[in-house]
Structure 1
Amino acid sequence: MSEQHDAAERRRAPNPFDTRGFNPRRAIVTGSDSGIGRATAVALAAAGMDVGITWHRDEQGAEKTAEEVRSYGRRAVVVHLDTSDLDACGDIVDALIDELGGIDVFVNNAGTGANEKLVRMSLERWRHIVATDLDGPFVVIQRAACRMIEQATGGRIIATTSVHEHQPRVGSSAYDAAKHGLGGLVKTAALELGEYAITVNAVAPGEIATPMTGQEDEDPHRKHRPGVPLGRPGDAREVAALIGFLASPASSYITGVSIIIDGGMLQMGPQGGSHITSDVWREG
């Protein structure tokens, strides 16, 4: 790994610091067997990219994502990836990059969480969540960054964090800590990778209708959320559209930011959103 990194350090994009000529053709989206990951993989395929698809528990879901990617005439490669397996996840990403023939866009989307109070959470549970949501993302983002540097053609790295990167929630201590850490990693990576014409950003979703919130089969436009100014959960495709923009040449001067996409939920306070069950607040 150190030899690979040292070799990568000696390379630069043809025009250092210039992110405008970026032409993405190959992308990896972790956790793309459902929800935001699936919607993102499909959006990137629609934008003309071959896509590496990873799954943890739902192989059938990953194959469904692959079918959608191929419907756009793009190549799809499906692999199993567990970001809590720190010894293996980096090598899996390297192999996937080799299979795709390179990497232009890397979307770290895989993650997990728990609704459990701090004083009741076991250390084992804490370590699993932090490994999945922070340690593993460090490993795979590092691998993707090294390969982008080797290619010397620039790149885009995007991490799906959460509104809880910015505001905590009761019962989410490990998740909140990991997402805060991932947000910090994104900012530091943006500082360090800019000279290689690689941008690094985070997308911070609020409540989105996905398996993680138990809503994937529901139409978010029909689900009322009094505690969200826009009155509903988000659609995974709305998050994917934002990620697609950050993965595109049009985002050439955006790096080191975390863009909140939550229907205005954070404006209601950290315990707002789904905790508010009435529209009375709208009356002032």
Structure 2
Amino acid sequence: MSPQMSDSSSKGVAIITGAAEGIGRGIALRLVSDGFDVAINDIAPKQAALDQLVSEITSKTSRRAIAVPGDVSKDGDVKGIVDKVVRELGGLDVMIANAGIAVNKPIAETTVDEWDRLFAVNVRGTFLCYKLAANAMIRQGRGGRIVGACSIAGKKGIAEAACYSSTKFAVRGLTQSAAQEYGKFGITVNAYAPGHIETQFLGRFDGYQANKKGLKPGEWTETLKSTVAVGKNGTPTEIASLVSYLVSKDAHFITGQSIIVDGGGLFD
């Protein structure tokens, strides 16, 4: 990539979806540190958190940052996000399709509405981000980097999270197909597959397990540490470090991969 931005010190422009909290927020901060201008996205109810993050970035760095709220499951919203970023920040070089949701339930208790909602956000949302970002990158003619959110649940099915696991298996397939279609344009497409990352998202899994097993809040999360080689849970920083590399020029020969980042719990 050789972004020709109005700000010559910028490494380019990145969109990060689902960036109001957790892994998305961590990735946004890391890419800013790396020298990217960023557009941070989440759903409208999280506007205040987006505004706070924009303020944090612009007050502490020289990088540009804008909030682009919207629902990634809606074609018009994602198109609007991409168009606004290209118009206001001068282009698009990196798309991080991070937004995702989960439900913890046995298959027998999972409703059709829950199934459809997870696929709408996790799969259709990733598809729209990949497609519309790639369209913009192809028009620019300078290549790009697209990165999606897989999971260890997309490498091995998880009981009582069948719907979530299914969406993440779908992200793996989409990533592999997109990598083959977009490689000729200088666009790489990869995904990160986190394990146990201590975020609000993991906290929702913890709440389900605590209620089911009669545990105190946080006890289930603590037990996860003994299931991985390094003996600890991860933080958004670990995922952001991988993303930082995947969007760099040095990663030009890596594409179509969903890379596990879990401290050595699942080996691929």
TM-score where L is the length of structure 1: 0.80
Is there any run of 5+ residues in structure 1 with no aligned partner, and where? 1-12, 15-22, 216-221, 270-284
Which structure 1 residue ranges, 4+ long, deviate > 4 Å from structure 2?
none
Counterpart residue identity of residue 110, structure 1:
A
Distance 1:201 1:179, change over 3 A: same
- Give 1:1-284 correspondences, 5 Å limit: 24-56=11-43, 57-70=45-58, 71-214=60-203, 223=222, 225-267=225-267
Deviations 1:166-186 (A, max 9, x none): 011011121111111111111
TM-score where L is the length of structure 2: 0.85
Q: Distance in 1 between matches of 2:54 and 2:240?
A: 16
Counterpart residue identity of residue 12, structure 2:
R
Shift of 1:230: 1.3
Number of aligned pairs?
A: 244
Larger helix share, 1 or 2: 2
Q: Distance in 2 between matches of 1:24 and 1:189?
A: 24
Is there any run of 5+ residues in structure 2 with no aligned partner, and where? 3-9, 205-220
Q: Distance in 1 between matches of 2:56 and 2:255?
A: 29
> What value does the CA root-mean-square deviation take over the aligned residues?
2.3
Q: Compare 23-32 and 80-89 and name the one that shifted more.
A: 80-89
Q: Distance in 1 between matches of 2:78 and 2:114?
A: 19
Counterpart residue identity of residue 59, structure 1:
Q
Deviations 1:42-98 (A, max 9, x none): 111111111000112322222232233322210111021212334433333322332
Shift of 1:31: 0.6
